[in-house]
Amino acid sequence: MNRPVLNYSPAFLILLLWIAGSAPNASAQSARGEQMEIHLHFACRETHRNMQPQRDNIDFLNYLNYKADTGCTGVVRLGFTLSPSEKWTFMADLGMMSDMRFSQMNISASRIIGKAGNSTAWGLSAGISAYPVYLNEFNEYHLIRDTGLMADMNANYRQQILYDPGLELMPFLNYKKSKFSLNAGTGLRISTFMPFNLLIMQKKEGGNFRREIRYETLFKPALSSISALHATLMLTDKPGLSVGLQASAQLLFGMRTIPYKRSILTWTADNRVTDEIKPDSKPFTVTEVSGGIVFRF
């Protein structure tokens, strides 16, 4: 099956190459030595898209965190930052949710490009990131609509984990004064929900009639805006090891949808009707606030 691939603009690729190409010289640009950080954050993430009216075709994003107890998903994030010089920072961050396995990640490279005052500088950050969201009880669409049938023969709790990997590019401003530093940036993210397949098997109660509905979601790259704020306050500033507090906030905003191919098999597999369906793109936000500690050495 042919699927559309992600197409990045040549300007974006040139920019990434330029950032990567400058790396070997980075350590020579500053007198400050190599610096490493390990951070541990406790984050609250909320994924939101307004519920759309149910029509003839299922809109999977209507079941985003559907019937979840709270709007806020707890995430424990553990990250490592390497700054070979004052200009360069490389960061890798893994996130763990209540399932106690690392399911989200963020890898980025940042470069200070110029000064905008005594304590202020600006730069550019590029990275990749992925995070999971949950589609819960999407079979309710069929349970409500397909009356007269056992609308979903699968009696298990239906949940689909949906990953949204993407590439980010973000100009940022950096303010640093004494033990306090603040990073604020806004940029673009191109991402796509990873495709998944779902099967709904149906049977008429008191009858032989059987039907199967197969969903195959499709790649749909989408552009989102990304804004981030990151503050660090070092409590100690010893030469070997210092400890500090960190707080972060991030907002993703985009018009998102999950297009899919639907095949309805009635009685037998050769009696099949296939349609390609694209629900309307609607505002989709991911908000995350986090706080934690950082060890610098």
Partner 1 sequence: MKIIRKTLFILLIFNLIRIIPGCCDCDGPATFFSFNKTGITNLNNSGSVPVTSPSDTMRAAAVAFEVSLYDSTGYWYYAALPVKTNAGFSRATAMSCDCAYPMQARVHLTNISITTLFPISDQVAAGTEISGLFVASLRGNYAGDGVYITPEMLCSQTENKIYYDGGIESFGLFLKPEVQSPFARFAMRFTLSDGSILTDTTALITIRP
Of 118 and 208, CB closest to partner 1: 208
Of 251 and 265, CB closest to partner 1: 265
Give me the least distance between CB of 264 and partner 1, in Å please.
10
Of 7 and 208, CB closest to partner 1: 208
Give me the least distance between CB of 29 and partner 1, in Å please.
55
- To 10 degrees, the CA torsion angle through 197, 72, 131, 5? 60
Give me the least distance between CB of 199 and partner 1, in Å please.
7
Q: Locate 151 and state its tokens.
A: 């609308």
Give me the least distance between CB of 148 and partner 1, in Å please.
11
Angstrom distance (rounded) from CA 49 to CA 43: 20
Q: Which residues contact 208 (CB under 8 A, 6 or more apart)?
A: none
Is residue 35 within 8 A of residue 101, CB to CB? The reply is no
Angstrom distance (rounded) from CA 54 to CA 30: 58
Burial class of residue 110, CB neighbours in 10 A (0-12, 13-18, 19+): buried
Sheet containing 272-277: order of strands: 149-150, 197-204, 210-217, 260-266, 272-277
Give me the least distance between CB of 152 and partner 1, in Å please.
11
Is residue 243 within 8 A of residue 236, CB to CB? The reply is yes
Q: What is the contact surface with partner 1 in residues (CB under 8 A)?
A: 150, 153, 199, 201, 203-212, 265-270
Of 92 and 153, CB closest to partner 1: 153
Of 25 and 154, CB closest to partner 1: 154
Of 74 and 148, CB closest to partner 1: 148
Give me the least distance between CB of 266 and partner 1, in Å please.
7
* Residue 25 DSSP SS3: helix
The amino acid at residue 31 is A
Q: Which residue has the tokens 């990045």?
A: 8
Of 126 and 151, CB closest to partner 1: 151
Angstrom distance (rounded) from CA 208 to CA 112: 68
Of 52 and 197, CB closest to partner 1: 197
Give me the least distance between CB of 207 and partner 1, in Å please.
3
Q: Locate 91 and state its tokens.
A: 């960061």
* Residue 140 DSSP SS3: helix
Give me the least distance between CB of 96 and partner 1, in Å please.
35
CA 48 to chain centre: 12
